[in-house]
Amino acid sequence: MGKDSILQAIRQNKPAGRPLPEIPIFPGREITPTEQFIKMAETGGSQILRAAHVQEINAMLKNLFPEARNIASPVPEITSTINLEEIQSPLELEQVDVAVIRGHLGVAENGAVWLTESACRHRILPFITQHLMLLIPETSIVPTLHDAYRNIRINDEGFGIFIAGPSKTADIEQALVIGAQGARSLTIILTAF
Amino acid sequence: MIDHAEKAAEFIRDEPRTDWHDESLWFIRHKRDKASQDVPEWEQLRELASGIKDNVLSELDHYLEQFEANALQNGVQVHWATDAAEHNRIVHSILKKHGVSRMVKSKSMLTEECHLNDFLAEQGIEVVDTDLGERIIQLREEPPSHIVLPAIHLKKEEIGALFHEKLQTREGATDPGYLTEAARGHLRQKFVEAQAALTGVNFAIAETGGVVVCTNEGNADMGVHLAPVQIHCMGIEKIIPKAEHLGVFIRLLARSATGQPSTIYTAHHHRPRPGAEMHIVIVDNGRSAQLGRSDFRNSLKCIRCGACMNTCPIYRRSGGHSYGYTIPGPIGSILTPGIDLKAYSDLPFASTLCGSCSDVCPVKINIHEQLFRWRQIIAQEGYLPSGKKRALAWFGKIMARPAWFRFTGKVARLALRILPRPFLYNRFNEWGKARELPEAPRESFQEWYKKNRR
Amino acid sequence: MKVGLFIPCYIDQFYPQVGIATLELLEKLDVQVEFPANQTCCGQPLANSGSEQEAEPAYHHFVDLFHHFDHIVMPSGSCTYHVRKHYDRIEQTAEVQHVRKNTLDLSEFLLDVLNLQSLNARFPYKVGLHQSCHGLRGLRLGPDSEQNLSRPSKIQTLLNMVDGIELVDLSRPDECCGFGGTFAVGEPAISVKMGKDRIADHESKGVEVITAGDMSCLMHLEGIIRRQGKQMKVKHLAEILNGVQL
């Protein structure tokens, strides 16, 4: 009843057909995508580092999070303390201190990184972890969201997300607080591999 | 009936607090300006967004059917609700099926509109709002005062006192970092315990059958990826045709809302996670009727960024609660008359028609022109206060009769000159309560012209 | 070129000096300007209150008075906007269309029709420009702070032709003053608060005179200034361009 009556009302009330506009290609910026990405990501509260080899990441983790006890990563080269393949319920990930995940691409205009479900192994991982580290190839950075959507297929997997910084809120008197419900920090590693 | 003027006067009585509220929102408007100026094609994007929404409204039935077919294909369960009551029943039936007694919810203006929380509470289901601002007002048992910044009307001292009482924070503690950390701990517990999670929808993509949800806190994702049942509730107007259109709308949304280049999390949900269920509830609740009102249909283009509230000089000085509806401010004032013309007949008059809302709107809704049009309908339907109606009828008669106009003007000027002050400044003179009347000249321009130029 | 001058009702009754300044300025610029008798009101106060129908006789009266002029000029962005935008509700005869197309705010007439380059006027004061909303966002007389479009500001261009004038930058360059027609009496608390806030912005920048293209905004601001016993003055754009002195 709901569906038919709603669609019926829409058909009766909708205006005459209007064409769907084309999205043009917008001119590029003077600043390079990588420079802009770093600038925007840092403005959004992310920390940017570079790595030439995947093995460097383990050392970085020790440096950045010396206190971390539980490290979870679907990236095989990362030394994890949790075997994500054995996790039955997402609730078991509540104690994760640091998660390391591969991103698919970076967006220069907002410092966001696209990740997919398969790269996270569990959808909850980038949110429930206290600290998040994302790896993206420096060459993957595109200038705008338009470019990003041309380079990904949002329904390839059941879930995909752009993450543009650590979880934040300004709900108390507009004061910016980092670390609301999701990860308290975001470190993005621009990789050469 | 909402008496906006009275509620606004009450709000303004505390002038320093009014200034604080005004400045907080102006600061966000200013951040929005800077963020929009960082995008050289900003005005082009607004035009595109408006054009895409024009197309959506003209083919809404097709897009909804396409969306449903694709969502079903993705393994999502799709429900349709004609009105708020049906929406609430549908959500309840999903929860009942799974024996849910605790649900977490991220921000959804639609569920506020449908009063879902109250309904579920009556059925014995605990609903916890997980956006920090929403949680604050939920604990205070009051409605949001802004669609993006639900607790913008509150001071940190008030939130500190609330958290001390409800979350056992230190007495007198007001530091936003400390209070947010306390809420984080409290909400993590709620996320873990929840048996279902519900979110609103920012965009629903017809071509892929998926929904996009934008948050800064990550609360929507904490909810839906932990609970075994995930529910997304959306108005019929949330549809966009293709994935590529997300580029246009997401570039506009957060910049317009808070001045950020995008929200921290922009989540794209297409299929339930293994072992879990995903539901989408598509809600009309008066929207298809609004689609039939040609002067007002493009209010359905709204992407709920709140920029029209932040820019509105009246909203900033009267607060969201003075509008008496879930969606306050300029956009609320053009949506509400379509819901209940009599009850909200005051709101289209709570504006100077300055037009700032229309120019700030990322989808170019002609808000101030619609306010003007609603005023005509309210007057035609007889909902103007009777004194005002009589005065306007007289004014109309005088303005069509030059001799009457000259005569009335002369008498009024004379009265202003010779009457003692108490006759002019009394409780019937709303102008004169805080303003002087203009000094009345002996001669009108027309009288001067007759003497000096003819 | 036949030019008809319209003087809005409240200017006619309360601010004749603004009408006189407008007329004198046009005469100085050798414009053949005529002021048709029997003028009343453009009908805006009625329409903005929801009574468009009651305003229709005023619309017809206006068109009858002015349709034989090449241009209709008025010292008000707001009334100009009303004629151009809202006279769409009456039958669109050739006369109505002509009037709607050729009704101009004073600043538009001076710059777009007369192509005015310079003026012989002096006003050695610190001046704050109040951007009246209908002129700014309705007629697009200048850039507004919401849109990222560059268009020259007509009123500023004209004020810059005045010798000795010092135009100040405001913290909020184009926020509404809170007049809003019947809003001023329908929502008096907010209306006055908005006016006070605008005045405070001008005051903090040391403004001596507030000017605007619309006298209605200035009537409201002046009412508050006088009640608060402040020294600031208000002058319509036409007065300053016509060489008024304090």
pLDDT tens, position by position, B386-428: 888 888 889 999 999 999 999 999 999 999 999 999 999 998 8
Q: Which residue of C has its CA nearest to B41?
A: C148
Structure tokens at B448: 């001067």
CA gyration radius, chain B? 25
Of B18, B36, B449, the CB nearest to C193: B18
Give every CB contact of residue A56 below 8 A, 6+ residues apart in sequence.
none
CATH 3.40.50 fits C126-241, yes or no: yes
**What kind and span of H or E run contains A2?**
helix A2-13
User: Domain with A111 in it: what CATH number?
Assistant: 3.40.50.10420
Which residue segment(s) compose the domain that A143 sits in? Answer: 45-80+96-193
pLDDT tens digits for C140-159? 999 999 999 989 999 999 99
Chains C, A in contact, 3 or more Cβ pairs below 8 Å: no
Q: Which one-letter DSSP state was computed for residue B347? A: G
Which residues of chain A are within 8 Å of residue B26 when distances are taken between CB atoms?
none
> Contacts for B86-90 with beta carbons within 8 Å, 24 or more apart?
B86/A2, B87/B111, B87/B114, B87/B116, B87/B233, B87/B281, B87/B283, B87/B285, B88/B114, B88/B115, B88/B116, B88/B119, B88/B120, B90/B281
Mean pLDDT of B184-205: 98
User: B17 touching C, CB under 8 A?
Assistant: no
Which chain B residue's Cα is nearest to C146?
A: B360
Q: How far apart are alpha carbons B441 and B439 in whole angstroms? A: 6
Of A7, A21, A172, the CB nearest to B159: A172
Q: Of B41, B149, B226, which is closest to A124 when you measure between CB atoms?
A: B226
| More reliable by pLDDT, B307 or B388 | B307
Res. B34: pLDDT tops 80: yes
Side chain identity at residue C24, one-letter code: E
Residue of B nearest to A177 (CA): B177
Q: How far B136 CA lies from chain C's nearest CA (Å)?
A: 28
Cα three-residue angle A176-A177-A181, rounded to 5 degrees: 130
Question: Count of CB contacts below 8 A, B vs C?
Answer: 214
Instruction: Provide the chain B residues 299-358 that lie in CB contact (below 8 A) with chain C.
Output: 311, 313-314, 317-318, 349-356, 358
Across chain A, mean pLDDT equals: 96
Q: Which residues pair with C74 in a beta bridge?
A: C105
Average pLDDT over residues A32-59: 96
Length of chain C: 246
Residue-level pLDDT at B386: 84
CA B384 – CA B397 distance, rounded (Å): 18
Q: Is the pLDDT of residue C75 over 80?
A: yes
| CATH architecture entry for B39-285 | 3-Layer(aba) Sandwich (3.40)
For residue C237, which of C152, C157, C175, C177 has the smallest C-alpha distance?
A: C157
Tokens representing residue B394 in the block: 């007289």
DSSP state of A69: -
Mean pLDDT of C165-192: 97
| Contact residues for C231 (Cβ-Cβ < 8 A; gap 6+) | C208
Q: Are B412 and B440 in contact (CB under 8 A)?
A: yes
Q: Is A180 within 8 Å of B217 when comparing Cβ atoms? A: yes
Residues B207 and B56: their CA atoms lie apart, in Å, by 12
Nearest-angstrom CA–CA distance, B262 and B339:
32
Cβ distance B436 to C178 less than 8 Å, yes or no, reads no
Domain ranges for chain C, please list them: 3-113, 126-241
Residue B289: half-sphere exposure toward Cβ, Cα within 13 Å: 11
Q: Output the CA–CA distances (angstroms, integers) from residue B44 to A162, B38, B41, B238, C147, in the order listed.
A: 24, 13, 5, 21, 11
List the single residue in B with minimal CA-CA distance to A159: B269
Taking the C-alpha atoms of residue B250 and residue B202, their distance in angstroms, rounded to an integer, is 9
pLDDT of residue B2: 79
Share the mean pLDDT of chain B: 97
Chain B and chain C touch, per 3+ beta carbon pairs within 8 A:
yes
Average pLDDT, chain C: 97
Identify the sign of the CA torsion B124, B128, B133, B139.
Answer: positive
List the single residue in A with minimal CA-CA distance to B60.
Answer: A10
Neighbours of A94 (CB within 10 A): 15
Confidence (pLDDT) at B389: 87
pLDDT of residue B65: 98
Do A155 and B74 make contact, defined as CB atoms within 8 angstroms? yes
Count CA atoms within 13 Å of residue B218 on its CB side: 34
Q: Compare CB distances from B180 to A111, A153, A169 and report the shortest one's residue.
A: A169
Tokens 């951007």 identify what position?
Answer: C131
The answer to whether residues B375 and B415 touch, using CB atoms and an 8 Å cutoff, is no
Under 8 Å between Cβ of B325 and B336: yes
> B424: distance to nearest CA of chain A, Å?
43
Question: What is the arithmetic mean of pLDDT over A99-118?
Answer: 98
* Chain B neighbors of C192, CB-CB under 8 A: 433-435
For chain B, the domains span 39-285, 389-453
pLDDT recorded at residue A30: 87
Query: How many inter-chain contacts (A to B, CB under 8 Å) are there?
Result: 260
Is B376 in Cβ contact with C52 (below 8 Å)?
yes
Asked if pLDDT for residue A85 goes beyond 90, the answer is yes
DSSP B323: G
Interchain contact, A154 vs B150, CB within 8 Å:
no
User: Chains that contact C by 3+ CB pairs under 8 Å?
Assistant: B
Mean pLDDT score, A28-38: 93
CA distance C19 to C7: 6
Q: What is the pLDDT of residue A1?
A: 64
B229 CB-side CA count, 13 A: 24
CA distances, B26 to each of A119, A174, B30, C167 (Å): 41, 12, 6, 24
Q: Which chain B residue has its CA at the smallest distance from C47's CA?
A: B376
From B350, B358, B435, residue closest to C187, measured CB to CB: B350
Q: Which strand (E) or helix (H) includes residue B190?
A: helix B176-193
Cβ(B226)–Cβ(B192) below 8 Å: yes
B412 touches chain C (CB under 8 A): yes
The residue of chain B with its CA nearest to that of C49 is B375
C105 band by pLDDT with thresholds 50, 70 and 90: very high
Q: Domain total for chain A?
A: 1
Of residues A11, A122, A150, nearest to B61 (C-beta): A11
From residue B429, give the alpha-carbon distance in Å to each of A99, B419, C215.
67, 14, 21
Closest CA to C135 of C93, C183, C82, C87: C82
Region label for B311, one of left (φ > 0), alpha (ψ between -120 and 50) or beta (otherwise): alpha
Nearest to B196 by CA among B89, B88, B102: B102
Query: How far is it, in rounded angstroms, from Cα B69 to Cα B208?
Result: 9
pLDDT over 70 (residue C210): yes
pLDDT of residue A153: 98
- Strand segments, DSSP code E, in chain A are 47-51, 71-72, 98-102, 105-107, 112-116, 131-137, 159-163, 168-169, 177-178, 185-191
**pLDDT bracket for residue B310 (50, 70, 90):** very high
C211 CB contacts (<8 Å, ≥6 apart)? C127, C128, C129, C130, C159, C218, C234, C235, C236, C237, C240
Best interface-test mutation with C: which of B45, B381, B395, B416 has the largest number of C CBs within 10 A? B395
Mutate to test the interface with A, among B17, B174, B180, B260 (most CBs of A within 10 A): B180
Model pLDDT, residue B387: 84
Of B60, B187, B294, the CB nearest to A181: B187
Q: How far apart (Å, rounded) are the C-alpha atoms in residues C146 and C154?
A: 18
Task: Say whether B129 sits in a helix, a strand or coil.
Answer: strand
Closest CA to C31 of C22, C40, C44, C39: C22
Rounded CA gap, C18 and C61, in Å? 23
- Angstrom distance (rounded) from CA C189 to CA C174: 21
CB contact under 8 A, B243 and A154: yes
Test the C interface: residue of B29, B406, B425, B435 with most C CBs within 10 Å? B435
DSSP B426: S
pLDDT tens digits, A155-168: 999 999 999 999 99
Assign A159 to helix, strand or coil: strand
What is the DSSP secondary structure assignment for residue C163, as one 8-state letter? Answer: B
Of B151, B180, B288, the CB nearest to A177: B180
Whether B265 and A168 have beta carbons less than 8 Å apart is answered as: no
Contact call for C183 and B434, based on CB within 8 A: no
**How much is the average pLDDT of B9-35?**
98
pLDDT of residue B86: 98
**pLDDT for residue B388:** 85
Q: Mean pLDDT throughout A58-65?
A: 96
Q: Looking at the predicted structure, is the pLDDT value of residue B442 above 90? A: yes
Distance between CA B30 and CA B27 in Å, rounded? Answer: 5
- Separation between Cα atoms, residue B28 and residue B307, nearest integer Å: 9
Nearest to A171 by CA among B253, B220, B159: B159
**DSSP string covering A76-114:** TTS--SS-GGG--SGGGGGG--EEEEE-SEEETTTTEEE
Give the number of other Cβ atoms within 10 Å of residue A89's Cβ.
Answer: 12
